[in-house]
Structure 1
């Protein structure tokens, strides 16, 4: 399968998962499914592709680097269609994981869904910035729970 197709399919899949996360009316029933079918499938896809790329089974469709120890090496990882696609799937999987955690955490703290809807898209689009926004939101909104600083 061409790297462009893998990129497009995983991108659309992640968007559908995020729409379910944002809009599902009974989210407590949807979160376990999103966790396994969303994060799990993206992580499994990443695993198959990265193992295939690093073992030489898959063609990177460009220069291939396995150097994680320098900026030039990491840039080399993303300098091929395969490397960029696999890197993007990595982001999609982890951002969805953080989004699911934030939504579940906010629900437990009684943070209104409309406030969550202001923050969750930032997690999807800008990852760590969205996480910072959520951590600020939960500091000032919702009920206090035991161990409020930990990511429970």
Structure 2
């Protein structure tokens, strides 16, 4: 399979996961299975298939900025796709974790969607937004008089 096709399939699969996360009913007890387990696992297996053989030919390392720049500069297309799959799998897993936490706090889906979109597009930015919302909500609730 070509690297371009693998890239397109991986993006499509991840996008499907994000659409499920954003719009599928969460009342179903099985809701997180595709976004927490199935799709990240498929991306993880594809990542392993691409990265393990490619590691033998990669030049550079993760121990310095120069080593990292060399690693990216010399990476083959399959290794670049593998790196992208790494992001896709982990961001979707984290997005599912965020959605479950915010659901548990009673945060409406309309409020969650921009946070999930930020997680999809900017990873840690979405995570920080979710943390800020959760902390703010917990602080606000702790200061409210009991009804």
Sort the TM-score into its range (normalised by shorter chain).
Answer: 0.7 to 0.9
CA distance in 1, matches of 2:9, 2:72: 19
CA distance in 2, matches of 1:144, 1:46: 42
In angstroms, what is the RMSD of aligned CA positions? 2.0
Q: Given the alignment, which residue of 97, 107, 113 partners 2:109?
A: 113
Say which one has the larger Rg. Answer: 2
Q: Secondary structure at the match of 2:30?
A: helix
Count of residues in Structure 1 that have an aligned counterpart in Structure 2? 138
**CA-CA distance at 1:130 after TM superposition:** 0.8
Question: Do structure 1's residue 44 and structure 2's residue 40 form an aligned pair?
Answer: no
CA distance in 2, matches of 1:125, 1:32: 22
* Higher relative helix content: 2
Question: Do structure 1's residue 77 and structure 2's residue 78 form an aligned pair?
Answer: no
CA distance in 2, matches of 1:72, 1:33: 38
The residue correspondences of 1:30-69 to structure 2 (distance < 5 A) are 30-55=31-56, 64-69=58-63
Range that drifts further, 40-49 or 135-144 = 135-144
**CA-CA distance at 1:66 after TM superposition:** 4.5
**CA-CA distance at 1:144 after TM superposition:** 6.3
C-alpha contact 1:78 1:87 (8 A) present in aligned 2: no
CA distance in 2, matches of 1:44, 1:141: 37
Unaligned runs of 5+ in 2: 143-147
Aligned CA distance change for structure 1 residues 25 and 68 (closer, same or farther; 3 Å): same
Q: Secondary structure at the match of 1:29?
A: coil
Higher relative contact order (CA 8 A, sep 6+): 2
CA distance in 1, matches of 2:68, 2:54: 15
CA distance in 2, matches of 1:42, 1:86: 9
Aligned CA distance change for structure 1 residues 77 and 85 (closer, same or farther; 3 Å): farther
With normalisation by structure 2, the TM-score equals 0.84
